[in-house]
Amino acid sequence: MRAYDLLRMFGREGSPTPLGQAFAEYGRIAKTEHLLRAVDPVDDTHRRQMNRQLMNRQLTVQESRHKLARDVCHGERGT
């Protein structure tokens, strides 16, 4: 099935069809569950896991910046 045909099934003249509305509501369920687990005052394992993933992602970005700086500095002979 082509993406164009799929999008036509989900919307008609700028408004969603009942099937499109159902998919939108289904997506909201996952978002709501995520938010409820993130703000749960009793069990903070989900929040800790999110923080750990964020820190790993930030380290990867910083490492990439440092590698770029080393490559630029080497290419300009240390200046």
- The alpha carbon torsion through 41, 46, 51, 54 (nearest 10 deg) reads -140
Could you report the per-residue pLDDT of 2-61, keeping only the tens digit for each?
887 877 778 887 788 888 888 889 989 999 988 888 888 888 888 888 888 888 888 787
Write the pLDDT tens digit of every residue in 7-17.
777 888 778 88
- DSSP string covering 27-68: HHHHHHHHHHHHT-SS--HHHHHHHHHHHHHHHHHHHHHHHH
Sequence-separated (6 or more) residues with CB below 8 Å from residue 47: 37, 38, 40
